[in-house]
A and B are shown apart, each in its own frame.
Chain A
């Protein structure tokens, strides 16, 4: 299965990426302007001359949209299946439940790895994600934990994250 994404330079303007969508035969064009703004042209059918819609995004908006589409916020089903295919090892995005007793604890205090085998490699949070999570990083409300572990270890991890206990 290959995706037909075509890159073209637009001298004086920027770069254009064209994508033919397999689903309903629509055509998408994304234009990266030299000044950083992005435009998305949506064509109802691949052969349409007039775009059905044009969306203009500034740099911040484009990056956020990109993260959403890439699955950094919520993972679509298809990504989950893909990870199953990787074998026993999985990378999971796990939102911290609002009532979690882990909130306010450092990763060292929570000791997820010693207790469940799951390693936290990064924390997604606003405005700045934590790329390489350190033992002294504190879990905050609203965080999403990026974790690595064996599939069988996740039920215990989820239970611990939601209910604790974290004494000592």
Chain B
């Protein structure tokens, strides 16, 4: 990638993101679409940019930053505090959608590690798209919004485990279980560290001159990613946990302020670079999988969300809103596919299929999900004319 190409790319991403937000859509599908169109695979009309070591490196950094910020946002305490409804609703959502995802995965790849990754990709809704929708459609004041955000948090924590071994699992069964156990241990250790180290880190960061603050945080993030990598886990889980460790320190706000612009840039480039690797030529083989997954997602998310809402004591109309907010998939689905792409134990075919699947599936559900969120109240009124 030359500097000129980079300039054109970034400008294009900015423009597309702007157009998407005009239509009330998240920028994620827009970035993916840009990558898909400009990439070397089918469609080939506009093939301007070749994936290279540079784009791969950008994608890797993108994953690291994306997850670091997700980590900053969620803490275990918040999940515990958000209460019984969240745990109950989150479990219903997990069982319904991971189950349906596994059906799709097994249908596509047979009983294999690829099926597991696909199940996770179908399970995890997009917090980014859902939160943007909740703000844009003025739903933050609604009672059921508490449940939606709680379930999204629950999903993010559940998926952290899968992120740990998505890049390295898939050898023998025992080996995969070993890696999963390592991932659990790594998460547990990081959570413990976030409690014990919060104060010392706080003292260190407040005494640090501002110019080195950025460097120190950067070193911690990349360092934990590298540690995870050395342990045979995904670097993603290291970055996520670096965020969790820092989320309890007083430095969190300053980090968010200083890194926000960087995150947006790297996230845009990450989704774009991922889009480059999507091959629409694979549609013949995976088109039906995407269609099946989208259909089952509608069933699982709308149904699971509705059930979670009803169990939590919300009205029928409110429960419809809960389900609709969970349909959109995005960042984690793509991150999972990206990690699987770097997994040496998966065959090339499975990787290509997973990549194309994740891209198309996110494009479909992110668009559909936003429309459903916008219309969910009207749908609720149509289905349940009498409020109960």
Contact = CB atoms under 8 A, between A and B. Distances in A.
A8 B377 contact: no
Interface in A13-48: 13, 16, 18, 27, 29, 31, 34, 39, 41, 43, 47
Interface residues of B, number: 24
Contact of A29 (B131, B140, B317, B377): B140
A41 B138 contact: yes
Contacts of B79: 11
Interface stretch (B2-10, B37-45, B145-153): B145-153
A49 interface: yes
A11 B78 contact: yes
Interface string B77-119: 0110110000000000000000000000000000000000000
A47 B150 CA distance: 23
A11 B82 contact: yes
A40 to B, nearest CB: 9
A49 B377 contact: yes
B141 A51 contact: yes
Chain A's interface: helix, strand, loop or mixed, by majority? strand
B141 A31 contact: yes
A10 B141 contact: no
Interface size class of chain A, counting residues whose CB lies under 8 Å from the partner chain: 20 to 34
Interface of B: 73-74, 78-79, 81-82, 127, 131, 134-135, 138, 140-142, 145-146, 149-150, 152-153, 256, 317, 377, 387
14 contacts: A8-B146, A9-B78, A11-B82, A11-B153, A13-B140, A16-B140, A16-B146, A29-B140, A31-B140, A39-B140, A49-B142, A49-B377, A51-B141, A54-B138
Interface of A: 8-13, 16, 18, 27, 29, 31, 34, 39, 41, 43, 47, 49-51, 54
